[in-house]
Amino acid sequence: MKYLISLFIFNLSFCQTKSFDEAYRESNVSKVILETNCENINSLIEKDINSNSIFLFLQSGIAPIRFYTDGKFEEKYDLHYFEQGCIGSNCAENYNFIVFNYLYKTFGKKWMKEIRKDTLGFRKWKKTYKPH
């Protein structure tokens, strides 16, 4: 019984993952979506990373797709997928590139095997990224 109680308290005290709604409210995703000059989003993304309100943009079309593994990835790397639908933002790919750089610097290469391969810009980033 003591083990169950301590496990429950441990889970409550160390859970850092924000809900999608909370992370969205604290993020700059809505500003990124509306921005037309992608050079203006760098500071917005840095604020999202610092506030732990990180998103990865998806663009799958009319019917969004959610896989069982999405939630595991989101929880493990403390971020959320953001489905744009069939109409995307001009700067979503740039936003994702910076998040990919952050993930690489923070977690190394292991996240690359787990990320959704249809994440906007992932294949392009993977081909062009040169680690520092």
Render pLDDT for 10-46 as a digit per residue (tens, 0 to 9): 333 334 567 888 988 888 888 988 888 998 899 999 9
Give the closest residue to 102 by CA, choosing from 82, 86, 125, 120: 125
In a domain, 25, yes or no: yes
Total domain count, the chain: 1
In a domain, 7, yes or no: no
In a domain, 65, yes or no: yes
Per-residue confidence at 125, pLDDT binned at 50, 70, 90?
A: very high
In a domain, 98, yes or no: yes
In a domain, 37, yes or no: yes
Structural domain including 64 reads: 16-128
Helices then strands, each counted (H, E), the chain:
7, 2
In a domain, 100, yes or no: yes
pTM of the model: 0.81
In a domain, 8, yes or no: no
Euclidean distance between CA atoms 22 and 34, whole angstroms: 20
In a domain, 86, yes or no: yes
Render pLDDT for 70-109 as a digit per residue (tens, 0 to 9): 999 999 999 999 998 777 788 999 999 999 999 999 999 9
